[in-house]
Amino acid sequence: MDREPAARRLTELRELINEHNYYYHVLDAPCISDALFDQYMQELMQLESLYPELSSDDSPSRRLGGPPISAFAEVRHLVPMLSLDNAFTGDALLAFYRRLQKIFGMGSITLVGEPKIDGLAVSLYYEDGKFVRGATRGDGYRGEDITANLCTIRSLPLRLREDIRAEVRGEVFMTREGFARLNREREQEGLSLFANPRNAAAGSLRQLDPAVAAQRPLDLFAYSLVNLSNKSITSQWEILALLKALGFKVNAHVSLLQDLDEALHFYAEINTLRHSLPYEIDGVVYKVNDLLLQEKAGSTSRAPRWAIAYKFAAAEGITRIRDITVTVGRTGTITPLAELDPLLLSGSLVKRASLHNEWIVREKDVMIGDMVVVHKAGEIIPEIVMVLKKRRSGGERPFIMPQSCPSCGREAKRLQGEAALRCLNPACPAQVVERIIHFASREAMDISGLGESLAAQLYHSGLVHDVGDLYALTAEDLLKLERLGEKSANNLLNVLERSKNNPLHRLLYGLGIRLVGERAARLLAAHFGSLPCLAAATSAELIALKEIGPRIAFSLISFFQGAEAKTVIHKLKQAEVNFLEEQEKEGQEDLAGKSFVFTGTLQRFTRQQAKEMVEGRGGKVLSAVSKNVDYLIAGGTAGSKLTRARELGITVLGEEGFAELLNQEPF
C-alpha cells in the first residue's frame, strides 16, 4: 500500500479502534467480534511499522483499553496489567518463537501453555495472607475497585494457606451451564438476556449491590503472581504450582512445553477439547517459562514480548443481505450498515454487520440480496468476510452511497485523504444528538443519567439545540418529557450543576472536536491553561506541542473559528462552566500518609473530583472503612460506612469540613 492510502487507512483504523475500545472496555457492550477487533489492531500495527513516520503517540496501538467506570473507586496497578499480542496462524506463532530464539540466543525455549479463558481479568491483593482488595484491569494502569463483589466468588480464597503479601492475577468467568441457568431465570422474570458468558461475568462484577453478585454463578482461575514477598520463584510453572498450594483454582489443562512442536501439538489438543469444556475459551496463551528470560525479553508499552495468545478461528456463517442502510455519527461520518437475514452464531442472533465505508463496499463487491459469509465471535455487529458471487441469481442490486445526509438532507462530501463520506452540516440532527451523548459521557463531562434516549428527547423537543443549552434546562422543562419524573429531573439538574466544575481537559474532550481525543485534550489543557488561550492559539503554537500535528491543529482552528462553536462557548460561559485547567502545585504533599473514604451523595464535588484533590496532595482514597482510615467524608444519605467510622473513632467531615481541610473557600 502506498503512503497516501496508508495514511487514510490509519486514520480510519484509529477511529474504529477507539470507538470499539469504548464499547468493549467501558460499556461491556461490544459491537464487533474480538476477532475483527484483533484484525483491526493487527492491521494498524502493521501499517505503523511499515510507515513509522505516520505513527502517533496517542494511537490505540499504545493504549490498553478504556478508563474505569466512575461508579467504583479507582485502583492504580502497582505493575501494569498489559495486554497480549495475538497470533492467528501457525506462521505467526513460528515468528514469535524465532524472535525469542534470537533474543535469547537459544535453540529450544520452554513455554507454558494455558487455555485462554474468555472472561474478565482481575488483580487480587493479599496482605499477611488476607484478601484486602480486588480490581478490574481497566486501562491496564487504573482499574475499578470491585472487592465486595469478588468476595462473593467461592473459588476465590479470602485467606491464603500462607501469611504472605502478594498480588495475584486471574480471570473471572461464568460456566456455560451457569450462564444458561442465569438467562433462563432472567427470561422468567422478564429481564433482558446476557449476550454471552463474558458479558454476564463482567456485568455481575459491576453490580453496585454485592448481594446481586452473590447470586451469580461466577468462578475464577488464577494464572499469575506479581509483587510476591518472601518466595524464591524462578519460572511460570512454579508460579502455577504455588498458586495451587496457596488455595487458588488453576486450570487443569496447563502444560509445560519443551519446544515449538509441543506448542503446536498442545494448540491442536485444546482446539479439539474446547467445545467439551464447561467454560468458553478463545485460544491458547503461551508464556516463556523462565522468569529471568521473561525479564530479558521485556515488554512494549502495550504487551510483553515473552507471551502471545494464539487465537482460535472465529465462528462463521452464511446469510443474505436484505438491505443496506446508513447511519450518521457524531463527526458526520456516514457509515453503511448491512441488514441481514437473522443468523444464529455462537449462541446469539446476528442481524446487522457494519460495512465501514463506501470503499469497503466496492472492494468486497457487496450488493443488496447477496449471500455472504459473516464472521463472528460473540459480538452484536460482526463483519462481512466475503460475498458468495457464484450464488448470485441476477436479482441482486448494487448499493449506491447517498450523496446527501439521511438525517438533514444536506450534501455529503468526502474530505481530502479520507475514505468516508461526511455530512458537514454542524446542525445535522443526528450529529447534534450524538454530540450531546458524547458531551455527557464519563470521560467528558460525566453527566450521569443523560443517555441516548434522553439526549434524543431533549433535541427533538426543542429544549436543546447544542450542548450549551443543557445548562439552561429547568425542572419545568424536564418534567414535560416522557418518562422523566421529578426525582430524575432534579438528579439531572444536580449533576449538570456539578459538572460545571470539571477541569478544562474534560470540557475540551466533551466538545467533540474532531481528532482531539482524551490525551490530546489533556496536553492542550495543561499547556494553554484556559479555553480562551487555546481558542486564540495559532497553528504554529499548536504544532510546536509534542503530539499535536498539523491535522489536529487545523481541526482545532477550524472548530474555534466556526459560528456554532462560538455560540456554544458563549452559552457555556454564561452558565459559568469552568474554562480553566487546574495547575498542579509543586511540592504540596500535606495529605501524604492520610487515608480517606467517601460515602453518601456529594453536592459540591463529584466523587472523581474529590478523589483527585486528595491524591493530588499526596493522600490516598480507600473504598472500605477500617482502622487504617484517617477521614470519612460524609455526603447526603450516608449509611453503614458512617456508622462504622463512628464506632472506630475515625474523624468524620461533611463537605464543608472537607473543603476547609483542603484550604478551599467553604460553600
Same domain for 201 and 106, yes or no, is yes
Q: Greater confidence, 647 or 463?
A: 463
**pLDDT score recorded for residue 71:** 61
> Residues with Cβ < 8 Å from 501, sequence gap 6 or more?
578, 604, 605, 606, 609
**pLDDT score recorded for residue 625:** 79
Same domain for 163 and 306, yes or no, is yes
**pLDDT score recorded for residue 129:** 86
Indicate the burial class of 476 (C-beta count within 10 angstroms; 0-12, 13-18, 19 or more).
exposed
**pLDDT score recorded for residue 198:** 84
What confidence category does residue 27 fall into, taking pLDDT thresholds of 50, 70 and 90?
Answer: very low
Residue 381 has pLDDT above 80, yes or no: no
Q: Greater confidence, 252 or 51?
A: 252
Same domain for 563 and 447, yes or no, is yes
Considering the chain, what percentage of its residues have pLDDT values greater than 90? 41
Query: Do residues 294 and 332 touch, judged by C-beta distance below 8 A?
Result: no
Coil vs helix vs strand at 173: strand
Q: Greater confidence, 230 or 557?
A: 557
**pLDDT score recorded for residue 556:** 94
CA atoms within 13 A on the CB side of 97: 22
104 occurs within a structural domain? yes
Alpha carbon distance 257, 269 (integer Å): 13
Alpha carbon distance 652, 383 (integer Å): 55
Same domain for 376 and 441, yes or no, is no
What confidence category does residue 56 fall into, taking pLDDT thresholds of 50, 70 and 90?
Answer: low
Host domain of residue 452: 429-574
The cell for 533 is 488561550
Q: What CATH code is carried by the domain that includes residue 196?
A: 3.30.470.30
Q: What CATH code is carried by the domain that includes residue 457?
A: 1.10.150.20
Q: What CATH code is carried by the domain that includes residue 33?
A: 1.10.287.610
**pLDDT score recorded for residue 502:** 93
What confidence category does residue 643 fall into, taking pLDDT thresholds of 50, 70 and 90?
Answer: confident
Alpha carbon distance 195, 199 (integer Å): 7
- How many other CB atoms sit within 10 Å of the CB of residue 214? 16
Same domain for 288 and 386, yes or no, is no
* Domain-ending residue, one of 424, 456, 488: 424
Residue 667 has pLDDT above 60, yes or no: no
Residue 63 has pLDDT above 50, yes or no: no
Query: Do residues 555 and 516 touch, judged by C-beta distance below 8 A?
Result: yes
Alpha carbon distance 541, 108 (integer Å): 54
What one-character DSSP code corresponds to residue 159? B
* Count of domains observed in the chain: 5
Same domain for 220 and 96, yes or no, is yes
Residue 666 has pLDDT above 50, yes or no: no
Residue 424 has pLDDT above 90, yes or no: no
Q: Greater confidence, 323 or 37?
A: 323
132 occurs within a structural domain? yes
Same domain for 546 and 619, yes or no, is no
Q: What CATH code is carried by the domain that includes residue 360?
A: 2.40.50.140
553 occurs within a structural domain? yes
Alpha carbon distance 360, 366 (integer Å): 9
Same domain for 434 and 407, yes or no, is no
Active-site residue numbers? 116
Task: Spell out the SS3 assignment of 56-112.
Answer: CCCCHHHCCCCCCCCCCCEEECCCCCCCCCEECCHHHHHHHHHHHHHHHCCCCCCEE
Residue 80 has pLDDT above 80, yes or no: yes
What tens digit of pLDDT does each residue of 527-544 get?
Answer: 999 999 999 999 999 998
Same domain for 22 and 50, yes or no, is yes
Closest C-alpha among 81, 71, 58 to residue 139: 81
Q: Is the pTM of this model over 0.85?
A: no
Q: Greater confidence, 42 or 422?
A: 422
- Lowest average pLDDT, out of 89-98, 103-112, 376-385, 619-628, goes to 376-385
What average pLDDT does the structure give for the chain? 85
Same domain for 176 and 254, yes or no, is yes
The cell for 268 is 491442536
Q: Mean pLDDT over residues 366-394, rounded? A: 83
586 occurs within a structural domain? no
Task: Spell out the SS3 assignment of 315-354.
Answer: EEEEEEEEEEEEEECCCCEEEEEEEEEEEEECCEEEEEEE
> Residues with Cβ < 8 Å from 467, sequence gap 6 or more?
435, 436, 439, 510, 511, 568, 572
Residue 57 has pLDDT above 70, yes or no: no
Same domain for 304 and 394, yes or no, is no
186 occurs within a structural domain? yes
Query: Do residues 331 and 421 touch, judged by C-beta distance below 8 A?
Result: no
Considering the chain, what percentage of its residues have pLDDT values greater than 70? 89
- How many other CB atoms sit within 10 Å of the CB of residue 261? 10
**pLDDT score recorded for residue 614:** 84
Same domain for 327 and 285, yes or no, is no
Alpha carbon distance 499, 495 (integer Å): 6
128 occurs within a structural domain? yes
Residue 190 has pLDDT above 60, yes or no: no
585 occurs within a structural domain? no
Q: Mean pLDDT over residues 274-302, rounded? A: 89
* Domain-ending residue, one of 311, 342, 361: 311
* Domain-ending residue, one of 404, 424, 444: 424
Alpha carbon distance 126, 123 (integer Å): 10
470 occurs within a structural domain? yes
